[in-house]
Structure 1
Amino acid sequence: MVIHSKTTKGMAKEWAVEAKGLVKTFGNNRAVDGVDLQVKAGSIYGVLGPNGAGKTTTIRMLATLLRPDSGSAQIFGHDVAKEAQIVRQLIGVTGQYASVDESLSATENLVIFSRLLGLGRGEAKRKAVELLEEFGLSEAAKRPLKEFSGGMRRRLDLAASLISQPPLIFLDEPTTGLDPRTRSQMWDTIRRLVKTGSTVLLTTQYLDEADQLADRVAVIDHGRVVAEGTVNELKASVGTSSLHLNIEDPGNLAQAKRIIEEVLGTKAGITAEAGTITAPMANADSVTDLLLALRGAGIPLSEFSVQKPTLDEVFLTITGQDKVSVKTSEEAGATKKEVAIG
C-alpha cells in the first residue's frame, strides 16, 4: 500500500517520529501498551520483536491508519490525530501489496500510481522502468500481477512507495519471504534512501536485518518497548561476552541450564538447534567455575565457545523468554537459514 507523499515546509525537524504512551486495544487484547519512540531524522530505526508483539499496530497508528486509544504521536512535529492529512503527505508505507488491478502489468500499475502522485505521462513511464530495473523486475515488467510470487509483489510494493520519495518511509517487515540475494539488494536500497534524504522506520523479525541496517533499535514485547538503543549498546547491556555450549546428552539440557544460570547469575536460553545453550557472560573468569560445576554434575560437553553477544542473546536476556528460532526463506529456492525471533 502506498500513501501519497511529498515534501513540505519545516523538514528541518530533528525528530522524524516522536511517540509518547501510545495505546491500542482490540477487545481484551492490549496490542500496544504505552509505547514511546523517538526516531531521529535521516536515520534507520529498527523495531524488533516476535509476531504479535505490537510492531505493526504501532506502525499503523504512526501512519494514521489506526487511531490511538490514548497517547500521542508526531511526524516531523505534526500530530498524527489532529493533522492526519499533513502527516500523510510526509510518509510512505509498505507492507501490503501495491496494485491497482491484478490483471494489469507491473509497469502499468506503477504508471498509474505515478500519475496519481502527479507525475506526467512520460515521467511516469520513465520512473516505472527505472524502479523495475532497480528491484530486479524488468523481465517481469509486462506480466500481470496475478502471476507474481510473494517476493516479487513485496519488491513491487517497495518500488511503488519510492515513486515520490517521501521524507519518512515505514517498512513493515519488508524482506520477509525474500531470498538472500534479493534481501541484500533491498538492504542496499534502504541505505540509499537514507543517503538521499529519507528517514526509514522498519519493523523486522530478523535479527541480522536489524544488526545490518538500524542506527537504533527498539525491542518490543507484549506491546511494550522493553529496550532501546544502538545495536552495540544493546549488546553491551547483556555483558561483554556470550557463552555457547553444546550438551552431549540432550537429556541434560534442563539441568545444565539451571547450573549455568546459578554460576553466571544470568538468564540462559536453549536455542532452536538441539543441544545448544547460550548465555550472556559479564566475567570471563567465571568460565572455570562453570566448567567445574558441569563436570561435578556429570554433564559432558561436545562443544564450548565464548563469543561477542548477538541480538538473539539480547532479546532472550531482556524478555526472559526462549524465543530464538530459525526461519528458512523458501522464496526462489533459497536454502539459507536466517535467525529470527518468533
Structure 2
Amino acid sequence: MTAAIDADNLRKSYGDVQALDGLSFTVDAGEFFGLLGPNGAGKTTFINTLVGLARLDGGRAEVFGFDVTEEYREVRDRIGLAPQEYNVDRFFPIREVLEHKAGYHGFSSEQASERAMNALETVGIAEKADTRFDWLSGGMKRRFMLARALVSDPDLLILDEPTAGVDVQLRRDLWSVIERMNAGGTTILLTTHYIEEAERLCDRVAIVDRGRKVEVASPDDLTARGTDTIDVGLADPPATAPEFAHDGIVDARMEDGRLVVTARGSGTVIPDLFRELDRLGYEVTDLDIRRASLEEVFVDMTRQEEAVTQ
C-alpha cells in the first residue's frame, strides 16, 4: 500500500537557520500520526513543504505517491489543512467561505453548497452558517478551521495545533470529530503541544528536534522506555535505602520514611523487589506506582538531542 506521507532526507533552511536537517519518516494510509517537538523543531516547516508553502532545498517528499514539488496539484487535492493561525476572509459568511474553498477543488456550486453545510454540521456550528468569521467565538473559530479543512473531503487531514487555546470541553469535542474522521479512513497528521492529546489520539508519534527525527514509535512503546516510580511503605523503614542488584532498578532512596524506587519495566521489577525486601526482613505495608508519561519521555529525549548537538 502506498504511504500517505513518505519523507526522505528533507532539508530546508532560512538563511542561517536549518529548519529541516535530513528529516525522514513515513505515515501509513489510514494512520493517526502525531508530530511532537519543541518550538522551532521544524514541524510547521515540514507541513508547509507538503502543502506547497515552502520549497524543499533537498530530499524528497510524497503524498500518496505524488511528489510534493513536481505533482503539486495532485498533492493539494488530497490534503485538508487546519493551520494554527487564522487565514480566513473575515468579511463573508462562513458558509460562503467554505463554498469557495470547495469550488477550488472542482466541486459544482450545488455540490459546494452541500459540502459546506455538511462540514459545518460535522463540527457542530451549522446554525452559524450565515455568520461572519469575525463574529464567531474563539472556540467556534477553531471549529470552523476544522470545517474548512474537511470541506474538500481530503484523504490526508493535517491539523497544526488544532486545540491551542480552547477549553477542555471543546478540546474533547474536537477530539471526537477527528477520531470519527480517522475511523472513516482519513489519514491524520497532528502537531500538538498537548502531550495528552497525542497519547489519546495517535497510533504513532514522531519526536523531532532541530529539524531532525529523534524517534518514531507508538505512545505505549515510548512510555515503556521511561522510568516508573515505585513508592513503598515499610513497617519499620530504615534510614537509608537497601541496595538492590537488579538491572531494572535505576535508583532507590528513602524519602519521608518511604522507600522510593525508580525503575524501568516496573511490572517485572516489583516481584523481585518484594522478594528482596522479604529476604532482608522488611514488611511492606502499602505500595503506589506512578507510570512514566509520554511527556516525561518527550522531555528526556529532546534534552538528550540538545546535549548531543551542543
- Structures share fold, TM-score greater than 0.5: yes
Query: Which residues of 2 match residues 1-342 of structure 1 at below 5 A?
Result: 13-95=1-83, 96-97=85-86, 99=88, 101-239=89-227, 241-242=228-229, 265=250, 281-282=264-265, 284=269, 305-320=288-303
Equivalent AA in structure 2 for residue 25 of structure 1: S
For 1:184 and 1:223, the matched residues in 2 are separated by 30
For 2:58 and 2:230, the matched residues in 1 are separated by 42
Deviation, 1:238, is 2.1
For 1:88 and 1:319, the matched residues in 2 are separated by 32
Q: How has the CA–CA distance of structure 1 residues 115 and 59 changed in structure 2, closer, same or farther, with 3 Å as cutoff?
A: closer
Q: Given that residues 98 and 157 in structure 1 are in contact (C-alpha distance below 8 angstroms), is that contact kept between their aligned partners in structure 2? A: no
For 2:179 and 2:113, the matched residues in 1 are separated by 25
Larger radius of gyration: 2
Q: How has the CA–CA distance of structure 1 residues 122 and 64 changed in structure 2, closer, same or farther, with 3 Å as cutoff?
A: closer
Q: Given that residues 243 and 281 in structure 1 are in contact (C-alpha distance below 8 angstroms), is that contact kept between their aligned partners in structure 2? A: no
Superposed CA deviations along residues 72-115 of structure 1, whole A, max 9, x for unmatched, are 1111122222222222222222204353x312111222222233
- State the number of aligned residues: 266
Deviation, 1:264, is 6.1
SS at match of 2:34: strand
SS at match of 1:15: coil
Superposed CA deviations along residues 2-24 of structure 1, whole A, max 9, x for unmatched, are xxxxxxxxxxx331111111121
Q: How has the CA–CA distance of structure 1 residues 242 and 51 changed in structure 2, closer, same or farther, with 3 Å as cutoff?
A: farther
Give the stretch that moved more between structures: 135-144 or 168-177: 135-144
Q: Given that residues 279 and 313 in structure 1 are in contact (C-alpha distance below 8 angstroms), is that contact kept between their aligned partners in structure 2? A: no
Q: Given that residues 24 and 31 in structure 1 are in contact (C-alpha distance below 8 angstroms), is that contact kept between their aligned partners in structure 2? A: yes
Q: Given that residues 54 and 222 in structure 1 are in contact (C-alpha distance below 8 angstroms), is that contact kept between their aligned partners in structure 2? A: yes
Q: How has the CA–CA distance of structure 1 residues 217 and 280 changed in structure 2, closer, same or farther, with 3 Å as cutoff?
A: farther
Deviation, 1:319, is 2.2
Equivalent AA in structure 1 for residue 181 of structure 2: L
Contiguous gaps of at least 5 residues in structure 1: 1-12, 245-262, 267-277, 289-303, 324-342
Deviation, 1:125, is 2.8
For 1:174 and 1:109, the matched residues in 2 are separated by 19
Give the TM-score, by structure 2 length.
Answer: 0.76
SS at match of 2:55: coil
SS at match of 1:189: helix
Deviation, 1:312, is 1.0
Contiguous gaps of at least 5 residues in structure 2: 232-247, 252-260, 275-286
For 2:220 and 2:229, the matched residues in 1 are separated by 14
The alignment-based identity, stated in percent, is 38
For 1:280 and 1:147, the matched residues in 2 are separated by 53
Superposed CA deviations along residues 191-212 of structure 1, whole A, max 9, x for unmatched, are 2222222211111111011001
SS at match of 2:59: strand
SS at match of 2:224: helix
Superposed CA deviations along residues 179-198 of structure 1, whole A, max 9, x for unmatched, are 22221121122122222222
Deviation, 1:60, is 1.1
Q: How has the CA–CA distance of structure 1 residues 187 and 280 changed in structure 2, closer, same or farther, with 3 Å as cutoff?
A: farther
Q: How has the CA–CA distance of structure 1 residues 279 and 160 changed in structure 2, closer, same or farther, with 3 Å as cutoff?
A: farther
Deviation, 1:314, is 0.8
Q: Given that residues 98 and 160 in structure 1 are in contact (C-alpha distance below 8 angstroms), is that contact kept between their aligned partners in structure 2? A: no
SS at match of 1:237: coil
Equivalent AA in structure 2 for residue 123 of structure 1: Q
For 2:123 and 2:192, the matched residues in 1 are separated by 20
Match of 1:297 in 2: none
Q: Given that residues 98 and 153 in structure 1 are in contact (C-alpha distance below 8 angstroms), is that contact kept between their aligned partners in structure 2? A: no
TM-align CA RMSD = 2.9
